[in-house]
Structures are given as C-alpha cells and as structure tokens.
C-alpha cells in the first residue's frame, strides 16, 4: 500500500508525525514529502499513484489544500487527522469522511492502525 503523508510545514512534523509513523508502519510504502528538507516537492504524480493520503490537518496550509484537491480529483481516499485543541477547516468534509482527532503520538498511531487496512506493527 502506497501512502502519501500530507501536512503543513508549520510544526515539528519530523518528531510529531514522521518518527511515529516510521516506527510503527515500516511495512507500508509511505512517502514523507519533507523527509530530507523543507524544499517544495513536485508531488502531483506521487499523489496520483498513491493508494491513500494521510493528512495531518491541524495547521492551515495552502500547499496541503492543493495536494488534497489533487487527491480528490484523482479519486484517492483521504484520511484527515488533527490534534485535539486545534480546529481543522470545515471544508475537509467535502473531500473526506474520515476526520479523526488525536491527543498524542501514541493515540495518532493507534487511530491510524484502525483505519488503514492490512497494517502490521
């Protein structure tokens, strides 16, 4: 399963998103768009070939909005996750029926395990 991770760059995504996902989902083909640096990545084709988009939507981001629009256009399922205490955009309901809150990295991993099929940890 190919999963594209979509997120804002306005938080510590390495520690709070990438590290927990990498530690718990090594069996999946996950694309981390800012793994090496914070430079823009031409992600349109990567998204088009993904089986699923996992979007951390706690922080507004124009670039992420574009990515989620592409995913919706390509018919790629989008799962949105947001940290308790933040308020994600209501427009996300247009592209996803899976909008899930989480309280910690551990809670994030547990909730992702429930919605991503065929995962092993």
- Please report, for the chain, the start and end positions of each structural domain, with discontinuous segments joined by +: 2-115
* pTM listed for this prediction: 0.89
Predicted local distance difference test score (pLDDT) of residue 121: 41
Sort strands 29-31 and 78-83 into parallel, antiparallel or unpaired: unpaired
Length of the chain: 121
Report the distance separating Cα 5 and Cα 85, nearest Å: 21
Predicted local distance difference test score (pLDDT) of residue 98: 93
Q: Which helix (H) or strand (E) holds 53?
A: strand 52-56
Q: Which residues does residue 82 pair with via DSSP β-bridges, in sequence order?
A: 101
Of 62, 61, 105, nearest to 84 by C-alpha is 105
- Starting at the edge strand found earlier in the chain, the sheet holding 98-102 runs 29-31, 2-7, 52-56, 78-83, 98-102
Question: Per residue of the chain (121 residues), what is the pLDDT tens digit?
Answer: 899 999 999 999 999 999 999 999 988 999 998 877 656 667 899 999 999 999 999 999 999 999 999 999 999 999 999 999 999 999 999 999 999 999 999 999 999 999 886 544 4
Could you name the CATH architecture of 2-115?
Answer: 3-Layer(aba) Sandwich (3.40)
């Amino acid at each position: 399963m190919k999963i594209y991770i979509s997120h804002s760059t306005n938080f510590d995504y390495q520690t709070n998103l990438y590290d927990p996902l990498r530690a718990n989902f090594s069996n999946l083909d996950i694309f981390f768009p800012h793994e090496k640096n914070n430079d823009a990545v031409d992600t349109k084709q990567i998204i088009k070939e993904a089986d699923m988009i996992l979007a951390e939507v706690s922080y507004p981001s124009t670039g992420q909005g574009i990515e989620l629009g592409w995913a919706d256009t390509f018919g790629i399922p989008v799962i949105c996750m947001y940290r308790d205490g933040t308020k994600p955009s209501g427009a996300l309901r247009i592209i996803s029926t899976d909008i899930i809150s989480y309280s910690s990295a551990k809670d994030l991993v547990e909730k992702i395990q429930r919605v991503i099929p065929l995962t092993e940890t």
